[in-house]
Structure 1
């Protein structure tokens, strides 16, 4: 297979699934790891994909913000595993804040198994899960604000409400994780609201699958060392694991 043919196949796969891993392409195409990395580098140089640790994702700028539906179909198994591990951090009777996102949406379902929670969220989707779950011993507080493409409620109304709240845990989804930029989002108003969520919490756990590593959004929410726990999946590569373990208090790899 010619290099151009391989690159077209890689690009088709990225566009279909949202991302590819080098190891999977090596096995599928029967070529070396270095050959695949050169192909990805060539595609990235043309602006067609974004290089990430261990593979490539669809090309995106620091201001891209996919809608909830587009993100919901990606990395579903990893998100379910992360949700279960994140819920295990929470004790019965705790107060918990959940940010918006497809991973925190999965976390909301996992929290339905824990009694007597007070849950604060700025996510319409999360509030819907908790309402439909029907637990009478759960108190759900939905923060108001302006709606984003990810169905987050953000802005001065949200920030003002959060400044008066104090929770045991924040379980926060992010757009990207990076050793230098920290935890980021492409939406400035969402970044401000998420920073208010961080300030309201006694402990902060970021919940994000391995594809978020190496992605940098427009605005930083927090640096790696400013969170207590990162809950991700076992697909995270060694370099990323070392960076997180050296910065945050605890790294949880969900399987």
Structure 2
């Protein structure tokens, strides 16, 4: 297959599925990973797709653009693994925690399958599936119900009503974007309402967000930055963003993107990460 033909096929696949992985394409077309990366670079330079870590997704997101779970699952894999590894250290046996929808929270769920006596409330179908399939028999998984979104979240009045009767120790919240003005945001209006119900039900709010979320704005704000007791992100976050967040969130934890569960640098509201 000629490079032009292969690139056309890759672009068609991205548009049909929302995202592709380098390793899968290399195996399918019988070429090296480097060849596929060159194909993706060529398509990216023409504005036809967006390169991400390990693959590519559709281009051109906006404030109401809501990528599917599969699309987001190929983005920032190392960063999400590092963030999830650090977040898992906050969970104690017997705790009642909530995990919102998102690929980073799904990564966290994979690290919670062996925590004894855990009760997990979630509006994420992938999170519930991970814990149901691989979790312990003494764990309890509560799926809220509701209307399904493109990102496999369950939202709306049914989800909100279920959440409002609960009292939780921790909420791990995945977000679409973060800015100083808008706070933590999402591109889905009903998901924002459901997330706010989760925030109200939890004693502590832990936001999980990789560096690409900084400067991105979804159409609806969930909560302001100061509502987060803890924000876990990766060390590719720019220094100016770290400063802005350190001044507003309760505590900022910055983990090395290259080390999945490596030692994190911690920032409190008294100063920058050390």
Does 1:15 find its partner at 2:16? no
- In the alignment of these two chains, the number of paired residues is 212
Deviation at 1:59, TM superposition (A): 3.0
SS at match of 1:217: coil
Deviation at 1:12, TM superposition (A): 4.8
CA–CA distance in structure 1, aligned partners of residues 126 and 48 of structure 2: 27
What are the superposed Cα offsets for residues 6-27 of structure 1, whole Å, 9 maximum, x if unpaired?
x9886358924248xxxxxxxx
Asked if structure 2 preserves the Cα contact closer than 8 Å seen for 1:100 and 1:150, the reply is: yes
- Shift in CA distance, 120/149, structure 1 to aligned 2, threshold 3 Å: same
Does 1:227 find its partner at 2:228? yes
What are the superposed Cα offsets for residues 29-52 of structure 1, whole Å, 9 maximum, x if unpaired?
xxxxxxxxxxxxxxxxxxxxxxxx
Show the counterpart of 1:151.
152
SS at match of 1:111: coil
SS at match of 2:231: strand
Deviation at 1:92, TM superposition (A): 1.5
Does 1:115 find its partner at 2:149? no
Q: Structure 1 segments of 4 or more deviating over 4 A?
A: 7-10
CA–CA distance in structure 1, aligned partners of residues 107 and 42 of structure 2: 33
Asked if structure 2 preserves the Cα contact closer than 8 Å seen for 1:82 and 1:232, the reply is: yes
CA–CA distance in structure 2, aligned partners of residues 171 and 134 of structure 1: 18
Asked if structure 2 preserves the Cα contact closer than 8 Å seen for 1:87 and 1:111, the reply is: yes
Show the counterpart of 2:172.
171
Show the counterpart of 2:216.
215
CA–CA distance in structure 2, aligned partners of residues 14 and 200 of structure 1: 42
TM-score (norm 1): 0.79
CA–CA distance in structure 1, aligned partners of residues 245 and 59 of structure 2: 24
Deviation at 1:149, TM superposition (A): 0.2
CA–CA distance in structure 1, aligned partners of residues 59 and 196 of structure 2: 27
Show the counterpart of 2:71.
70
CA–CA distance in structure 2, aligned partners of residues 131 and 9 of structure 1: 39
Asked if structure 2 preserves the Cα contact closer than 8 Å seen for 1:205 and 1:227, the reply is: yes
- Give runs of aligned pairs for residues 35-114 of structure 1, distance below 5 A: 58-114=59-115
- Shift in CA distance, 227/195, structure 1 to aligned 2, threshold 3 Å: same
CA–CA distance in structure 2, aligned partners of residues 79 and 157 of structure 1: 29
Asked if structure 2 preserves the Cα contact closer than 8 Å seen for 1:18 and 1:58, the reply is: no
Show the counterpart of 1:130.
131
CA–CA distance in structure 1, aligned partners of residues 85 and 159 of structure 2: 27
Show the counterpart of 2:141.
140
In the alignment, structure 1 segments of 5+ residues that lack a partner are 1-6, 20-56
Show the counterpart of 2:207.
206
Show the counterpart of 2:4.
none
CA–CA distance in structure 2, aligned partners of residues 200 and 175 of structure 1: 21
CA–CA distance in structure 1, aligned partners of residues 163 and 110 of structure 2: 23
Cα RMSD, aligned residues only: 1.9
